[in-house]
Chain A
Amino acid sequence: MHVEVDVPRCVASGQCVLIAPEVFDQGDDDGMVILLDDSPAPEHHAGVRESALVCPAAAIRLSE
């Protein structure tokens, strides 16, 4: 799995950090998404998929 984030689209909701904190973080000041791991281990795939589905800015893109 390869993960990309479209930072300008991000609205800093933090949903991805709640679901998959191993893969996503937020900037301390602006709350924008920070991708911690663009090729996450298999045990994090379900969380990453869910993050991409619920991201309110459609800012997470996956290729599997």
Chain B
Amino acid sequence: MTVDLGSVPARVVVVGASAGGLASAEALRKFGYTGEVTLIGEEVHLPYDRPPLSKEVLSGDLDPDRLQLRPTADIDALRLDLRLGQMATGVEVSSRTVTLAGGATVGYDTLVVATGVRPRRLPGTDGVRGVHVLRTLEDAIALKVRLRPGRRLVIVGAGFIGAEATAVARRLGLEVTLLEPAAVPLAHALGEDVGRALTRAHHDHGVDLRTGVTVESVLSRDGEVTGVRLADGSEVAGQDVVVGIGTHPNTEWLSDSGLQLDNGLVCDEFSMAAPGVYGVGDVARWHNPLFGVTMRIEHRTNAAEQGLAVARNLLEPTARRPFAPVPYFWSDQYDLKIQAYGYLRGHEEVAVVDGDLGTNRFIAAYRNGDRLVGIVAVGMPPRIVRNWRAAIAKRQEWTSVMNAALSTA
């Protein structure tokens, strides 16, 4: 296949107006692009930030008015053809045309797909009041108004969203039952020992954590949720149920496009899915040459970094650079700040290299093959955490990393 990389596009269409889409559009302008940029977003809001939705917005520490990613004047200054509240429903690659709900079409020279993910829901919960997911501003506000002291909350899924919502709800004085199908929360992602260490905070804060349980159905009366029924037949009462059981990438609109879809939009190391089509953020499954694997990363920082990388590659088509980041995410739970660098999935070994898993201050390092591939840090000074990130970025050998860590311990 020959790919025409020789020219800068006259018109870029970005579908998805959240962190990744905005970063793509903004980076194009910052790098001096003067062509047409269309930014299409399904939500009616100007681009806003999602990580605070399960943290400061829920707790009331951050006014939702402060969520907007850029002041309106800064958005105006980007001179975008901004189309909010409009959903893309299809794309025809041969004619380079995006179709919108309602039938309008938008032509492009280059398309940036940044449509993100949506939460998985429990079956049979449509229209049941008091059943929540956390992805949009409306989701967060709908939950926030019901988080009053003394109410009973059931949270399904003890992943990061569920854990953050649990921490906020306890702080606000609710009784929380946290339900998790795995024996140890987060074990599949971070390993059993780290998962257990992070779970301790729930016990310390009086959460009724139940592991190894599966939710069979949601119970309701007169259209209002009353709890859940577990697979063993027992019931857990709750006036609200928060569902945090993972996500689906928003790729249905691409299903007839001929673009390769495999749990996300499949892209190469330049984040390119096909000539003139790029993927950015949660929806993109791209080849990260730093780790030598194809990955799809649902982290806030990745969306912005990939948007910037794609904008750069669009504008310098003959000097394209692979997108090879060290993934990063953070989570705030109770008084814990959890930070992770690297690619932990499929790790073969975990070693505590600083602090102690029995305290709220430690670094766990992750090995895959003969390399250090990631760390999880809790309560550690930023300077130390940044050194570990540098070691991951350099693809350092596990044995040399361990020797160095042991000699300074």
Residues on A lying within 8 angstroms of B by beta carbon are 9, 11-15, 17-18, 26-29, 31, 49-50, 53-58
Q: Does the CB pair B382–A58 fall under 8 Å?
A: no
B69's closest neighbor in chain A, by CB?
A: A58
Mark B14-37 against chain A: 1 for CB-CB distance below 8 A, else 0.
Answer: 000001000100110010000000
Residues on B lying within 8 angstroms of A by beta carbon are 19, 23, 26-27, 30, 49, 51, 66, 69-70, 300-301, 304-305, 307-308, 328, 330, 337, 339, 381-383, 385-386, 389
Cβ–Cβ < 8 Å partners of A26 in chain B? 382-383
Known A11-B51, A11-B330, A12-B330; judge A54-B382 contact (CB<8 A): no
Q: Does the CB pair B382–A56 fall under 8 Å?
A: no
Contact residues of A: prevailing secondary structure? loop
Q: List 12 A-B contacts (CB under 8 A).
A: A9-B66, A12-B339, A13-B330, A17-B386, A26-B383, A29-B381, A31-B381, A53-B26, A53-B308, A54-B301, A54-B305, A55-B304
Other A-B pairs, 11, CB within 8 Å; known A18-B386, A26-B383: A9-B66, A12-B337, A12-B382, A13-B330, A15-B328, A17-B386, A29-B381, A31-B337, A50-B308, A53-B308, A54-B301
Cβ–Cβ < 8 Å partners of A50 in chain B? 308
Q: Does the CB pair A56–B386 fall under 8 Å?
A: no
- Count of A-B residue pairs with CB < 8 Å: 54
Cβ–Cβ < 8 Å partners of B386 in chain A? 14, 17-18
Q: Does the CB pair B30–A56 fall under 8 Å?
A: no
| Cα separation A15 to B329 with both chains bound (whole Å) | 11
| Cα separation A14 to B301 with both chains bound (whole Å) | 11
Q: Does the CB pair B51–A56 fall under 8 Å?
A: yes
| Cα separation A9 to B52 with both chains bound (whole Å) | 10
Q: Does the CB pair A31–B69 fall under 8 Å?
A: no
Q: Nearest chain A CB to B354's CB is how many angstroms away?
A: 15
Give the residue among B337, B382, B386 with the most A Cβ atoms within 10 A.
Answer: B382
Q: Nearest chain A CB to B23's CB is how many angstroms away?
A: 6
